[in-house]
Chains A and B, each alone.
Chain A
């Protein structure tokens, strides 16, 4: 399992999801905290390419042996790519939540939504208060 970290270049949603914003597109995934709370991920089914992710709403589920957890969209937009590798090897979410364990790539419908997300410092502060 990966070491606890919250990269500075990402933006964070309070439901423990991250977004890597690159111009008009962004990549989503779950944070180290989320995968640690869930435990070893054993099942993940990617959403359909072409479906819509809506900020603050669930776009997928990740499951450990014991529990199911919703994955929330930090931003809105059309899903243009999904990480099929994670469907085959869901433990990548535990091993590398910010890189190989990415979940979807989204064409943002409103890039300014990113202003509402937390930066790494603010997210770390939120975790301290949990």
Chain B
């Protein structure tokens, strides 16, 4: 075990003190759970959970040509991103293969911060650098600048509001605020399907802010709950539900691709949209017993028709759920299929997104 080589976030001691079970996640020693995945999951759905996501990376792009560079790299239309706004996009190769999925925050006229997945951060930085030639823009690896804490759930905003000086940004907006005495970037984003905020703050203040949040009632939640929460609302996980061998059209991410902006991969993606793809990513539920897992085969009429990319027991719905790439003609809600779960065929049905909807 190369435990000594694992990176630790500024909240490592807090996790140990809270009795977290720590695992290697993309080279980081991260809490997978504290008390248990299910209780943490349900706390986020019913009240408020707090996640250490400091393993996520940041890339800062600045200068007069920053917008033009990002327009070339990112799939979404960066010109529509206002100062103080947030935008989701994918980063693609010229053949349309997905390199990462990213949130970009526009901090100022000529300054952007892009949040990367831990496992892809170095590759993303290199990709940004490699393609910055000819643009009047500076690309900087900003991963060391900040800790990142996600506060999610129906009680998240009230809890953070109590600790903040000033008004929290609305959904998909950002604001620089003091929270629990620390100046930080507060973002109205998340990965759980719940309302809430994500905080980018100086590493040396992370432990104090974490303590203030948990004292105020936010429950520490690990990567296990983060994964089950995002699956219930069908948010993609890079490496599971997409990778460089999948394009955004088959991954169901065509909505964040604006080929008219001429980004790298736009031609391949426009053509995939035009001609359709052989497979499509589709959410499913198991209609009987069982829990499908990543790698299980999807079967229809005795033939192999796809593969599960994410699967779990849904703590909210109490059934097996997940996402799978299936033959495009089967990717319609209501289609009955089977999933080969370690040798047993389990009945499943393709559903529409999201699998979990908040009761209103």
Contact = CB atoms under 8 A, between A and B. Distances in A.
Contacts of B289: 43, 45
Interface residues of A, number: 11
B33 A42 contact: no
Contacts of B293: 68
Contact of B224 (A42, A43, A65, A68): A65
B98 interface: no
B37 interface: yes
Nearest to B290: A43
B342 A65 contact: no
A63 B32 CA distance: 16
A64 interface: yes
Nearest to B223: A66
A47 to B, nearest CB: 12
Given A40-B36, A42-B313, A65 B228 contact: yes
A39 interface: yes
B205 interface: no
A80 B32 CA distance: 38
A39 B315 CA distance: 14
Given A42-B38, A42-B291, A61-B342, A66 B315 contact: no
Interface of A: 39-40, 42-43, 45, 61, 63-66, 68
Given A40-B36, A68-B291, 7 more contacts: A40-B37, A42-B291, A43-B290, A45-B289, A63-B291, A65-B315, A68-B342
13 contacts: A42-B313, A43-B313, A45-B289, A45-B290, A64-B37, A65-B37, A65-B38, A65-B228, A65-B312, A66-B32, A66-B227, A68-B291, A68-B342
